[in-house]
């Protein structure tokens, strides 16, 4: 893993996302074989590596930030990655998790753990407050409000072609071309 080569090093993470964007990365299909000629994956759910083992060229972030662990993780990525990419709706705009942004955290927790119709056995009214748990943020933040983000790749999830076009452009030092057909969501 630590062998020296000309390959660029990629790391990925999913914060407050659904892993759909990671699925879309896999969806570049047999081009993965071409990609692997150009890059090496470091810390990423794809290879299940938990720690950075070397300085990273390109970090790819899926999802926004909904808790303190997301913030920590994102800052960790920023410190270790030369280039950082927000991949997909949630990383760029908060996405589905940000639907809670109009509702207070108190109401959210009450509905989820105390009053909601699907709450069955919580007679003592326990709320998630174990010290092991990350702290919830008052709202879901897009990544660029926490750290500097270099590129934004939109979609829910971004199309495989979009990911491929953008990644190869960045790897080859070209401008990212995103025609409407690749960009549009539906």
Partner 1 sequence: METTLQEKKIFDTLKKYGNNKSRLIDILHELKNELAENKKAVRKILSEKLEISAAELDEVISFYHFFLFGKGKYNIYLNTSITAELKDRDKVKKAFERYCETPFNSVTQDGLIGLYDTSCIGMNDQEPAAIINGKIFTNLTPYRVKELVQGIKSNKPVEELMYENSGDGNNSHPDVNSMVYNNIRRKSIILNKDYPVYSFLKKGIKEMTPEEVINKIESSNLRGRGGAGFPTGLKWRFGCRVPSNHRVIICNADEGEPGTFKDRVLLTEYPELVFEGMAAAAYATGSDIGILYLRYEYLYLLKFLNKKLIEMQASNLLGNNIEGIKGFNFNIRIQMGAGAYVCGEESALIESLEGKRGEPRDKPPFPVEKGYLGYPTIVNNVETLATAVKILHFGPDWYSGFGTGDSLGTKLLSISGDCKLPGIYEVEWGIRLGEVLEMCGAEDVQAVQVGGPSGMLIGMKDLNNLNSIELMKWYKPSGMMVAEKFFDRKLSYSDLPTGGSIIIFNNSRDLLKEVVLNFMSFFIEESCGACSTCRNLPYIMKNKLQKILNGNGVKKDIEDLLSWGKILKASRCGLGQAAGNPILSSIFNFRYLYEKHIQSLVEFNSEFEIEKAVTAYSKFVHRKPVLYHLQ
User: How does DSSP classify residue 16?
Assistant: B
| Sole binder of partner 1 in the list 59, 63, 97, 142 (CB under 8 A) | 142
By the rule CB under 8 A, 186 interacts with partner 1? yes
Verify binding: residue 51, partner 1, rule CB under 8 A: no
Q: Which of 18, 39, 46, 137 binds partner 1 (CB under 8 A)?
A: 137
Minimum gap (Å) between residue 41 Cβ and partner 1: 25
Could you say which of 124, 132, 173, 180 contacts partner 1 (CB under 8 A)?
180
Q: Identify which of residues 43 and 139 has a Cβ nearer to partner 1 in the complex.
A: 139
Closest CA to 164 of 64, 24, 40: 24
In this structure, are residues 21 and 87 in contact, taking their beta carbons and an 8 Å threshold?
Answer: yes
Coil, strand or helix at 178 = coil
DSSP one-letter code for 30: T
Reported as type and span, the H/E element at residue 65 is: strand 65-67
Instruction: Give CA–CA dist 81/94, Å, rounded.
Output: 22
For residue 174, how many C-alpha atoms fall within 13 Å in the half-sphere facing its CB? 10
The answer to whether 124 contacts partner 1 (rule: CB under 8 A) is no
Report phi then psi at 132, rounded to 5. -70, -20
By rule CB under 8 A, what string of x and - marks binding of each residue 7-46 to partner 1?
----------------------------------------
The residues binding partner 1 (CB under 8 A) are: 68, 71-72, 75, 89, 92-95, 104-106, 109, 127-129, 131, 135-139, 141-142, 144-149, 151-152, 154-156, 178, 180, 183-186
């Amino acid at each position: 893993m630590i062998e020296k080569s000309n390959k660029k090093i990629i790391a990925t993470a999913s914060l407050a996302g659904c892993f759909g964007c990671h699925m879309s990365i896999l969806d570049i299909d047999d081009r993965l074989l071409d990609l692997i000629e150009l890059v090496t994956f470091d810390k990423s759910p794809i290879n299940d590596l938990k720690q950075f083992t070397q300085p990273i060229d390109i970090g790819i972030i899926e999802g926004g930030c909904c808790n303190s662990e997301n913030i920590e993780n994102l800052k960790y990525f920023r410190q270790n990655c030369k280039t950082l990419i927000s991949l997909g709706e949630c990383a760029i705009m908060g996405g589905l998790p940000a639907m809670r942004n109009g509702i207070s955290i108190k109401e959210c927790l009450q509905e989820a753990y105390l009053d909601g119709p699907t709450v069955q056995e919580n007679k003592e009214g326990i709320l998630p407050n174990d010290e092991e748990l990350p702290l919830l943020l008052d709202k879901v933040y897009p990544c660029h409000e926490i750290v500097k983000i270099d590129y934004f790749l939109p979609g829910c999830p971004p199309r495989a072609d979009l990911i491929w076009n953008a990644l190869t452009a960045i790897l080859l030092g070209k401008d990212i071309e995103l025609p409407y057909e690749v960009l549009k969501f539906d």
